[in-house]
Amino acid sequence: MSAPTSQLEYGLEFNGRAVVLSEKQSEPIKSDEIRLRAEVSHVSIGTEIAYIEELGKKNQPTGLGYAMVGVIEELGTGVHDFTRGQRVLAYVNHRSASNVQVVPGALTPVPEKLSSEKAVLAVLGAIAYHIVQRAAPKLNEPTVVFGQGVVGSLIAQVARLCGVNPIVVDTDAERLRVARAVGFQTIDASREDCVARVKELTQGRGASLCIEAATNARAIGDAMKCLGMRGRLALTSTIFDPVGFLILEDFIERELTVLGAHAPKCPKEPNPYYLWTQLENRQAFMQAVCDGKLNVDHLVSHVVKPAEAPALYERLRAKDRSIVGMEIDWR
């Protein structure tokens, strides 16, 4: 174990009005903690912007981010399963360094051949795995994924590993172009009636499964209308707006099933009632990327230094859809 040090560290936070870069003195690590020096953190655009907009109504500050790859630079006296200099993925805020408690599933070792820029996507990758596990696609069933941001793209790709070939829906031409490049049939909801198009592509039956990852309340209504008899709708986005529906016509008469997928509900430790853990999903994602089964090259459009990040957050708040995926390089 190295001697505890105190040094200045930086972080991104929302102060109730805007995203700012703040600083503070680091704290000594405890016996069950490691000190992690950041390399790259990933911005979860849909979730972070949704919380910024909602908390901004109340001028309420909050930390930002929950995915970082870094290098262990200090070990607590009670930590024995990790080593100094080891590269790991952690579920922490956008910070130049963090003290991380070593509990089951807290740290995921990064394979040597996987770059930090790709490995940091494993938190959102694990979210996609959990969503697909909850949605449980059946072999060859007609499936539609709404939204082709980072999570939506990964959902479609993970679902494809389960034996379905999803149709993907978005309103952004560039995201749809990329989706076609990785092999998906696409619908541009800004130019055509996505419900009618899904019915056409499914010979009038409608989809058996729709997965919503669009962070848009309207997409929920469209996804519901795309479903055929006894279809399943999986909701995944951080949406604070109310969504209207008719109970009898929209749900009961078609016997629809609606389910939510919330990644933090995926257990951190194995149990007899759920077959996967957060750690296993992160590991599965990393291995699939290493094996070439998942394509993530198109999912990061902007890599910036911390001082440049507040300006990009403002662009995200202004609905700049040219920012597909954003990472912060702390090195």
Degrees (nearest 5) of the Cα angle 6, 11, 17?
140
Same domain (yes/no): 96, 192: no
Mean pLDDT of 67-88: 97
Same domain (yes/no): 95, 218: no
Same domain (yes/no): 136, 113: no
Question: What does the pLDDT read at residue 244?
Answer: 83
Model pLDDT for residues 9-22, shown as the tens digit of each residue: 999 999 999 999 99
Question: What does the pLDDT read at residue 8?
Answer: 87
Over 80: is that where the pLDDT of 6 sits? Answer: no
Domain boundary, last residue among 239, 265, 291: 265
Does the residue 282 lie in any domain? Answer: no
Does the residue 240 lie in any domain? Answer: yes
Same domain (yes/no): 14, 80: yes
Does the residue 1 lie in any domain? Answer: no
Assign residue 46 the CATH number of its domain.
3.90.180.10
Does the residue 203 lie in any domain? Answer: yes
Question: What does the pLDDT read at residue 219?
Answer: 92
Same domain (yes/no): 28, 112: yes
Model pLDDT for residues 283-300, shown as the tens digit of each residue: 999 999 999 999 999 999
Q: Residue 154: what residue type? A: L
Other Cβ atoms less than 10 A from the Cβ of 329: the count is: 16
Does the residue 280 lie in any domain? Answer: no
Assign residue 166 the CATH number of its domain.
3.40.50.720
Same domain (yes/no): 115, 170: no
User: How many domains does the chain divide into?
Assistant: 2
Using CA atoms, how far residue 175 sits from 89, 211, 241, 269, in Å, is 27, 17, 24, 35
* pLDDT band of 4, cuts 50, 70, 90: very low
Same domain (yes/no): 176, 257: yes
Model pLDDT for residues 113-123, shown as the tens digit of each residue: 999 999 999 99
**Which residues span the domain enclosing 176?**
124-265
Does the residue 76 lie in any domain? Answer: yes
Task: Dump the DSSP string for 34-61.
Answer: EEEEEEEEEE-HHHHHHHHHHHHTTT--
* Residue 47 structure tokens: 């979730």
Same domain (yes/no): 135, 259: yes
